[in-house]
Amino acid sequence: MLGVNANGNVNTNVDAQQKPAALELDAVTYRRGTKQILHGIDLSVGAGEHWALLGPNGAGKSTVLAFLGAVSFPTTGTVRVLGHQLGRVELAALRRRIGHVNPRHPLRSALTVREVVITGATGTIELPMRWAPDEEQIKRADELIDLLGLTDRADHVWPTLSQGERGRTLIARALAGDPELLLLDEPSTGLDLAAREQLLDTIDLLETTHPDLTSVLVTHHLEELPTSTTHAALLRDGRLVAAGAIDAVLTSEHVSTAFDHPIRVGREDGRWSARTIRR
C-alpha cells in the first residue's frame, strides 16, 4: 500500500514487520555545511532481511549506509543499529558486529588473500604490528576463502588480483568477524560481466551459509541485484520514494520517479532489468 508519511515522503507499507528490527532510521536528516543531504528518512530493516538501496548519484545512498555502519551520525533524528542507538553506544564494539564490503578498499601493502581475510577479524586495514593470528583465525580464514572459491589464490598478493577476485576476498574479509550485519557498497564497481555474475552468485550463496545475516547493498543498477534480495528502498534527492518488499517497490512507476526518467522494470529468473520506455 502506497502512502505519504508525516515528512511528506512517499513510502510503501507493503508488509507488516514480522521480524525484530536490525536497523531503524526515524525522521533522519543530514546536513553538510549549508547543503541538506537527507530529508526525514524513515526506514526499518528486519533481522535476516536482504535490502538494496537504489537511486541516482547524489540521492543519499552512501550517507544512509554510513549511518548503518556506525561511521556517521545524523544531524537530526534517530538511528538504531542492531538494537543500539547511535550516540548512546560504544562504537568500536558495535562496529565489530558489522561487516563492510567496499570495493575501494584502501589497502597499501601487498598482503596475501589469506592476510586480507584475517584483517576482517582484527577490524583493521593492515595486519597489526607485532601480532600474529592464532590457528583458529587462520582456519576460519581458509574456510571462508574456500567458501568463496579462492583456495587457489589464497597465497596471491592483493596487487595481482583481478577486480572480481578482490570483491570476493573482501566479502570473505567482511565475514571473518562473524558479523550480524553485512553492508555492501556498490560491490560490482569495476567488474566485467563474468566477474559481476560470480560476485552476485557469491552473495546469493550467503543466504544458505549465513541464514541469519542481515544485509544492505547499495547500487545504481537493478541488474546488479542478487536474487536473494528481499526488500528495497528507492531514494531521490535525499528523500525516500518507496521502501518495502522488493516486488512492491521495484515497479516501473517507482523506479521512474526515483531516477526521473521513464523506465520499464522487468524481472526474469529472480534478476531485475531496466529499460527506457520508448514513446
Give me 225's grid cell.
Answer: 541485484
Q: What percent of the chain has pLDDT over 70?
A: 93
Has residue 10 got a pLDDT over 70?
no
Using 50, 70 and 90 to split pLDDT, how confident is the model at 230?
A: very high
The predicted structure's pLDDT at residue 16: 44
Summarised one tens digit per residue, pLDDT across range 244-255 is: 999 999 999 999
User: What average pLDDT does the structure give for the chain?
Assistant: 90
Q: Do the bridges between strand 76-81 and strand 21-32 make them parallel or antiparallel, or are there none, so unpaired?
A: antiparallel
Helices (H), the chain: 61-68, 91-95, 113-122, 135-147, 163-175, 193-209, 246-249, 252-259
State residue 19's pLDDT score: 66
C-alpha dihedral, 260 to 271 to 228 to 82, nearest 10°: -10
Whether 127 shows a pLDDT value over 70: the answer reads yes
Average pLDDT over residues 69-78: 94
- How much is the pLDDT for 85? 94
pTM of the complete model: 0.89
pLDDT beyond 50 at 220: yes
**pLDDT at residue 4 in the model:** 38
> Is residue 129 very low, low, confident or very high in pLDDT (cuts 50, 70, 90)?
confident
Instruction: For the chain, give every residue range classified as CATH 3.40.50.300.
Output: 1-97+180-191+200-279
Cα 67 from Cα 60, distance rounded (Å) = 11
Q: What is the pLDDT of residue 20?
A: 79
pLDDT at 3 over 50: no
Q: What is the pLDDT of residues 31-58, one digit of tens each?
A: 999 999 999 999 999 999 999 999 999 9
Assess whether pLDDT exceeds 70 at residue 83: yes
> Other C-beta atoms within 10 Å of 275: how many?
12
Task: Report, as an integer, the average pLDDT of 134-159.
Answer: 93
Q: What is the pLDDT of residue 132?
A: 86
The candidate with the shortest Cα–Cα distance to 70, out of 95, 50, 38, is: 95
Q: How confident is the model at residue 14 (pLDDT cuts 50, 70, 90)?
A: very low
State the architecture of 1-97+180-191+200-279 in CATH terms.
3-Layer(aba) Sandwich (3.40)
pLDDT at 9 exceeding the cut of 80 = no
pLDDT of residue 122: 87
Checking if the pLDDT of 182 tops 90, the result is yes
